[in-house]
Amino acid sequence: MAPPRQCRHPGPAGRDHSGVARLRRAAARCQRAHQHDHAVRYTACALLLALAVPAAAAAEVVVPDGYRMGDYRAPTPPAAPGATTLDTAAAAALWRSGRAHWFDVLPAARRPEGLPAGSLWRPAPRLGIPGSIWLPEVGRGQLSAAQEAWLRDTVMAATGGDRDSPLVFYCLSECWMSWNAARRLAAWGWRAVYWYAEGSDGWEAAGLPTQELHPAPGAP
């Protein structure tokens, strides 16, 4: 199987260094600058060290053999098996083209436990990418038979059964549920699966339009 593809704007060419290696080199440079008491160099190195920390953390993300089974809000890997990763610019371009079907898999808010009976509770509206189909809970690592059927039937209805039709899955940033959903549909034989890892957080941060979403009909 070909390795997962990524759809990103090209960055500067250079050697491929791991985040951990960059972190070690940055720390060594900062130590040398401090020993020579060069304030400007020390400040620059401290900034370099701060930038290296996220890269080191990303390098340490453990990718499960199957689906992520818990702790869904955590740093994610750069790709999902069988899917193409989209950054926000690529996601916006695909959305504007109108060629893809978009699926939001963020879980719906639940009524807080212990809230007295009769108390008014109104969850915050879910603002997602316009035109998305909201399928709460289908990004979990293990789905019930009813959840699997709902996911499969909804995708089939949206695409007319065309397995080459582009599908985009998202939730929030650092959300394994969209990673699970993209991986699952690729495993089910869909050939144009996209994972928008930055999710609605990245979309809103870019100033792109949003729409209030409601769960799709037929939720189990």
d(CA 69, CA 63): 11
Q: Report H helices in the chain.
A: 19-35, 39-59, 88-97, 145-159, 176-187, 199-205
Domain residue limits, the chain: 19-59, 84-110+126-213
- pLDDT score, position 117: 76
- pLDDT score, position 108: 84
- pLDDT score, position 16: 44
| Residue 5 near residue 86, CB atoms below 8 Å | no
- pLDDT score, position 56: 47
- pLDDT score, position 120: 67
The dotted CATH code for 84-110+126-213 is: 3.40.250.10
Is residue 69 classed as helix, strand or coil in its secondary structure? Answer: coil
d(CA 148, CA 154): 10
d(CA 87, CA 76): 14
d(CA 42, CA 24): 15
CB atoms within 10 A of CB 119: 9
d(CA 50, CA 104): 33
- pLDDT score, position 159: 97
pTM of model > 0.75? no
Judged on CB neighbours under 10 Å (0-12, 13-18, 19+), 106 is: buried
* DSSP one-letter string for 105-123: -PPPP-PPTTPPTT----P
- Nearest residue to 135 (alpha-carbon basis) of 166, 105, 114: 105
Q: For tokens 């978009």, name the residue.
A: 102
Q: Point out which residues pair with 126 in neighbouring strands.
A: 213
Query: Per residue of the chain (220 residues), what is the pLDDT tens digit?
Result: 444 455 544 333 333 444 545 545 555 554 554 454 544 444 444 444 444 445 444 558 999 999 999 999 999 999 999 999 999 999 999 999 999 999 999 998 665 666 677 766 566 789 999 999 999 999 999 999 999 999 999 999 999 999 999 999 999 999 999 999 999 999 999 999 999 999 999 999 999 999 999 999 999 8
- Using alpha carbons, list the distances in angstroms from residue 219 to 1, 2, 137, 159: 33, 34, 9, 19
